[in-house]
Amino acid sequence: ARALMMPPSTARRLCFLSLLLLLLLLAAAASATADAAAAEEFTEELLLRPLPDRKALAHFHFRSSAPPASAAGRHHHLFPKAISQLVQKFHISELELSFTQGRWNYEQWGGYDPMSTNNAKPPGVELWAIFDLPLAEIDATWKNLTHTLSGLFCASINFLESSTAFSAPRWGFKLNEGNLRYGALPREAVCTENLTPWLKLLPCRDKAGIASLLYRPSVYKGYYHSQKLKLKSSQSLGIILDQTLTVVLQPNTVSGKQLHSTGGQLQPSWSMEHLFSKKLSGKCLVSKSSRVFVEIEKGIVDNVDKAGSDVSSNNDLFVLSTAPDRSLKELDNLEVQSSSLYEYDVNNYNSDKPLNVGITWKLPLIWSCTRAPYHASRFLMGSGNERGSIAMSFLSTGLDKQLVDSSNDCSIKAVVFQVVPWYVKVYYHSLEVFIDGNSKAISEVVDKIHVTPSEDKLLPGTMEMLLKFPCSMQLATLTLDFDKGFLHIDEYPPDANQGFDIPSALVSFPEFNSSRSYPEADPLFVSPLLENFKEDGVVKSYTEVLLVPLTTPDFSMPYNVITFTCTVLALYFGSLLNALRRRIGEEERGLKKLLLGNCNLHCFSLNLKC
Amino acid sequence: NTIACDGDGGSVRRASCFFPRFPTGMSLIPRAAPAASMAFAGRDPAVISLLKMLPLLLLLTFSSAAAPPAAASPSAVHNNNWAVLVCTSRFWFNYRHMANTLSLYRTVKRLGIPDERIILMLADDMACNPRNNYPAQVFNNENHQLNLYGDNVEVDYRGYEVTVENFLRVLTGRHESAVPRSKRLLSDEGSHILLYMTGHGGDEFLKFQDNEELQSHDLADAVKQMKEKHRFKELLIMVDTCQAATLFSQLQSPGVLAIGSSMKGENSYSHHLDSDIGVSVVDRFTFHTLAFFEKLNMYSNASLNSLFNSYDPSMLLSTAYYRMDLYKRALNEVMERYIYF
């Protein structure tokens, strides 16, 4: 009995201990959830860059990241739930969806830097996704994914569901084991209705922070605008969502038209207010960091060096309207200073003191952006509605390969990936290669080729090619013949006489790396934008979209046929019935009888004899 | 005082439709005379027999009301509003049809229906069209005061997706399983739906994208299916095309109100040309409808009657037609319940 009864002090102590334990557990749980919730991050960045042809580039970059689902469960406070549901439902490991209008001008705006490699996209909609599923289930999942994305982004992405619209490249687009699907819609319009849901995925939407600069008429008046959504999901890292919007605008300023005293024309001086009609009045409060960068390309930096001035924000050639908080210099392989970035931390600005970054040019300046080794373009040859040819040309831009010298084995590799719809029936055996005007054997130039021929109404034709060009080459042309197919009358779109599109081909140069590294002064925080720049990425460029006129039927034919047929039938049956029923003599007799009858009556009434 | 049987499978299954008359020659539903003389129950043999049948009658009406679980009670409460706005024309010279639809979209959003309850179908892209001098902006007036496209537009069906098939699927709710929720009309028996269509039309048809036609009996069949499935309590159809009234000639479902911009044989005209944009920017019927709605806000008590009275044939250059025979409430009692609740 004594053993069972505990002294009151021990009981009290036990009670206190258990209460303490309970409190500790609760605190641990709270901190766990707080940790998980705190691990969701959002950063926003804006990069501005003057372009050589008197335009300005603005690149918005928003990154949301969510920790792995096992840690955080299904509750999100910054990360958009729609995206995490998408990733879970369709088992996506990587996805990229871009909406573009306009063509990236590789000659003027560059083709070698990470911006043009990652953000120069083909016109219309481009979607590719890598799934974490058994290969047999991927096509059905792709179909459901396209429908869901079409509802989410107000676009007709559901047209990519049919097997005639997507393809499964193995190495031409991105090396994979057969779980990648790629589709493009070149004629998809991109307008405010696509931007609205894209902005709704951001925690501050377009109400606060950098996204508040997006004045829609400015964005859609640009020469090029491309909004992109890139997803990467893994069990260990969770989901990382990058949303970028790249716009090339023409600043509308008076100073741009002035002639300088030295005779050259000054580049237009612009600021954020000129570009977007707004100033930046503060950051999005839930963002971990909010920064604006101004990028001064290598071409300008070289000119400044040549002028003998020191590359700072205020020098002989240009001056930035606001003093930057920091400047970062890119270090390339040879430790030679290339481009430089001036950084502004939006945290230091608010609605009383808004941020309005701008650049004012002091001297006229001409520079050029680094280009890809070859300028790839594509065009159609031939006339008539029966056959034609697709030609692809590679024009050397004079970029010296690092390993070049006079060795004869020097060659530049290029990978071509092209998808052609089934009604453009390409004959892959008719591939011809011309280097500097001379016809070469295919085996000399084509290292590896993988073709999935098209099947009528089932599959598009996919071609992946690895080419090796000699370094000294100036111009190479590839041609492929095709026949134009016939479509069923129901398959023609309402504006069939405009023609049909062949989506852009992708040309990549695997030996050229477009990464740029900027040493970070702050070891604790890595800017996602600069992280993307540092990523290894091969230089790539997209060719033009081709418009193929196909034979269209006379859409009024059904009406014409019905009219003709009915007329013929009416004439035939009418005449037949007439011939069968009509008695010519009977008519006359009938008429005579009538007359006689009348006459008799008449005679009777008049007492005359007939 | 006869009870009509709703041939359309109306929301009430009346007992008299299902049960034959009794051998005594008396129907199950008492007529006014015997009911009035219930006070003299003791003396009237007819009333006595009626009283005997009363519990049976009650049982039958309750069972008939309870039996089909899908049958809505006649007093389904109005609890949500939907809008389906369709522009069926493509090409730049049909800018005004897009502006018509977007004007209604803006009005409907301003007066309280959220984007989740609006299905907007635009057959072409005018705002970001290369021919548009004002990118991302659509105007319905040459004074360019109002940008209809705004910052938050959400278009559900775009471009080549605006077809007769998709339109009928939206109305009847018969979609493939993969179609997302934002593209479905998720209305129920308490919904008031506004269906607005504009484009080119003619005698008993409406043209979709110069490629196909929606005929009046297609529309009537779709509405009939909607009624069977209890997808609306009341439906207001507004059509702004030439000979719009002919599109309603086959409608029979109760609870449908139809307004058309012109009668058979009449054209509907555009309102004015904007010399800056280069095309006509709005149609007359929609212009005057908007002029009426711009004076309202969410708290106004205007009635449909005042909307009808605001149409002036000399301004419209056509006769606005409305079909009210399928609609049971008196129009001056109807507040603008379609817009707010």
Q: Where are the domains of chain B?
A: 81-333
pLDDT score of B11 = 37
Q: Which residue of B has its CA nearest to A215?
A: B151
Which one of B155, B200, B212 makes the best mutation probe of the A interface by having the most chain A beta carbons within 10 Å? B155
User: SS in 3 state form for chain B?
Assistant: CCCCCCCCCCCCCCHHHHCCCCCCCCCCCCCHHHHHHHHHCCCCHHHHHHHHHHHHHHHHHHHHHHCCCCCCCCCCCCCEEEEEEEECCCCHHHHHHHHHHHHHHHHHHHCCCCHHHEEEEECCCCCCCCCCCCCCCCCCCCCCCCCCCCCCCCCCEEHHHCCHHHHHHHHHCCCCCCCCHHHCCCCCCCEEEEEEEECCEECCEEEECCCEEEEHHHHHHHHHHHHHCCCCCEEEEEEECCCHHHHHCCCCCCCEEEEECCCCCCCCCEEEECCCCCCEEEEHHHHHHHHHHHCCCCCCCCEHHHHHHHCCHHHHCCCCEEECCCCCCCHHHCECCCCCC
Range of the domain at A406: 374-504+544-548
Considering the domain architecture, whether residues A284 and A406 belong to the same structural domain is answered as no
Contact between A419 and A450 under an 8 Å Cβ cutoff? The reply is: no
- Residue B29: how many other CB atoms lie within 10 Å: 15
Question: Does A107 map to a domain?
Answer: yes
Q: How confident is the model at residue A335 (pLDDT cuts 50, 70, 90)?
A: low
Give DSSP secondary structure letters for A369-404.
Answer: ----SEEEEEEEE--SSSEEEEEEEEEE--PPPTT-
pLDDT band at B24 (very low <50, low <70, confident <90, very high): very low
Neighbour-count burial for A152-186, b at 16+ CB within 10 Å, e otherwise: bbbbbbbbbbeebbbbbbeebbbebeebbbbbbbb
Q: State the number of CA atoms in the 13 A half-sphere of B262 facing the CB.
A: 27
Residue A411: φ, ψ to 5°: -145, 155
* One-letter amino acid of A185: L
- Rounded to an integer, the average pLDDT of B281-285 is 93
pLDDT tier, A609 (very low <50, low <70, confident <90, very high otherwise):
low
Enter the pTM of the model.
0.82
Three-class SS of residue A328? strand
In this structure, is residue A35 part of a structural domain? Answer: no
What confidence tier does B300 reach under pLDDT thresholds 50, 70, 90? confident
Same domain, residue pair A116 and A245: yes
Distance CA A387, CA A483 (A): 4
pLDDT at A330 > cutoff 70: yes
pLDDT at position A22 is 75
DSSP category for residue A428: E
A84 shares its domain with A219: yes
| Minimum Cα–Cα distance from B148: chain A residue | A192
Is A156's pLDDT higher than 70?
Answer: yes
Long-range contacts of B170-174, Cβ-Cβ distance < 8 Å, separation of 24 or more? B170/B84, B170/B119, B170/B121, B171/B84, B171/B195, B171/B222, B171/B223, B171/B225, B171/B226, B171/B231, B172/B222, B172/B225, B172/B226, B172/B229, B172/B231, B173/B226, B173/B229, B173/B231
Whether A593 maps to a domain, the answer reads no
For residues A265 and A276, the answer to whether their CB atoms sit within 8 Å is no
CB A154 within 8 A of CB A227: no
Residue A538 lies in a domain: no
Q: Is A120 inside any structural domain?
A: yes
Q: How confident is the model at residue A103 (pLDDT cuts 50, 70, 90)?
A: very high
Range B312-319 average pLDDT? 88
Confidence of residue A18 (pLDDT cuts 50, 70, 90): confident
10 Å Cβ neighbour count for B103?
28
Q: Which residues contact A148 (CB under 8 A, 6 or more apart)?
A: A86, A89, A90, B178, B180
Q: How many CB pairs below 8 Å do chains A and B form together? A: 84
Mean predicted confidence (pLDDT) in A23-44:
66
The pLDDT of B236-246, averaged and rounded, is 93
Q: How many CB atoms lie within 10 A of CB A389?
A: 16
If one compares A405 and A482, the residue with the highest pLDDT of the two is A482
Mutate to test the interface with A, among B92, B144, B146, B152 (most CBs of A within 10 A): B152
CB atoms within 10 A of CB B63: 10
Would you say residue A143 lies in a domain? yes
Distance from the Cα of B225 to chain A's closest Cα (Å) equals 25
Is residue A185 one of the residues assigned to a domain?
Answer: yes
Mind listing the pLDDT tens digit for each residue in A224-275? 999 999 999 998 889 999 999 999 999 877 655 566 666 677 888 899 998 9
pLDDT score at B285: 93
pLDDT bracket for residue A30 (50, 70, 90): low
pLDDT at B121 over 90: yes
Mean of pLDDT values over A183-210: 94
A103 occurs within a structural domain: yes
* pLDDT level of residue A37 (50, 70, 90 thresholds): very low
Mean pLDDT on B100-104:
95
Q: Does residue A592 sit in helix, strand or coil?
A: helix
Minimal Cβ distance to B136: which of A147, A152, A192:
A192
Helix (H) or strand (E) holding A476: strand A475-484
Residues in A lying within 8 Å of B, measured between beta carbons = 101, 143-144, 147-148, 150-152, 154-156, 158-159, 161, 188-193, 196-197, 206, 216-217, 219-221, 493-495
Nearest Cα residue to A450 out of A418, A422, A480, A473: A418
Catalytic residue, candidates B87, B242, B271, B288: B242
Q: Is the dihedral of CA A592, A595, A601, A604 positive or negative?
A: negative
- Å from B159 to nearest chain A CA? 8
The CB-side HSE value for A154 (13 A sphere, CA atoms) comes to 25
* Chain B residue at shortest CA distance from A140: B178
Domain count of the fold of chain A: 2
Q: For residue A89, give how far its alpha carbon lies from the nearest alpha carbon of chain B (Å).
A: 13
What pLDDT score was predicted for residue B12? 40
- CATH class, range B81-333: alpha beta
Contacts of A510 (CB under 8 A, 6+ apart): A413, A415, A538
CATH label of the domain that carries residue A420: 2.60.40
**Which of A72-86, A302-316, A343-357, B327-341 is least confident?**
B327-341
Residues B177-213 have pLDDT tens digits of 999 999 999 999 999 999 999 999 999 999 999 889 9
Q: How far is residue A299's CA from residue A333's CA, in Å, rounded to a whole number?
A: 17
Share of chain B above pLDDT 90, in %: 57
Helix axes B95-110, B284-294, angle to 10 degrees: 20
Verify whether residue B5 is a known catalytic residue: no
**Pair A383, A271 in one domain:** no
User: Cβ A193–B211 below 8 Å, yes or no?
Assistant: no
* A288 in the same domain as A379: no
Supply the mean pLDDT for chain A.
87
Question: Which has more pLDDT, B306 or A313?
Answer: B306
Closest CB from B153, B182, B183 relative to A192:
B153
Smallest Cα distance from B160 to chain A, Å: 7
Amino acid A291: pLDDT: 92
Mean pLDDT of B250-254: 92
Query: Do the beta carbons of residue A477 and residue A433 sit within 8 Å?
Result: yes
> What percent of chain A has a predicted confidence (pLDDT) above 90?
57
Active site residue B200: yes
How far is residue A470's CA from residue A408's CA, in Å, rounded to a whole number? 8
Three-state DSSP state, A497: helix
- The answer to whether B159 contacts A152, with C-beta atoms less than 8 Å apart, is no
Strands B280-283 and A56-66: unpaired
| Tens-digit pLDDT profile for residues A546-581 | 999 998 888 878 888 999 999 999 999 999 999 998
pLDDT at A336: 58
What chain B residue is nearest to A100 in terms of C-alpha separation? B128
**Per-residue pLDDT band at B231 (split at 50, 70, 90):** very high
Confidence of residue A36 (pLDDT cuts 50, 70, 90): very low
Q: Give, as one character, the DSSP assignment of residue A523.
A: T
pLDDT digits (tens, 9 = 90+) for B143-182: 999 999 989 999 999 999 999 999 999 999 999 999 999 9
Distance from CA of B6 to the nearest CA of A (A): 38
| Selected catalytic residue, list B87, B97, B192, B200 | B200
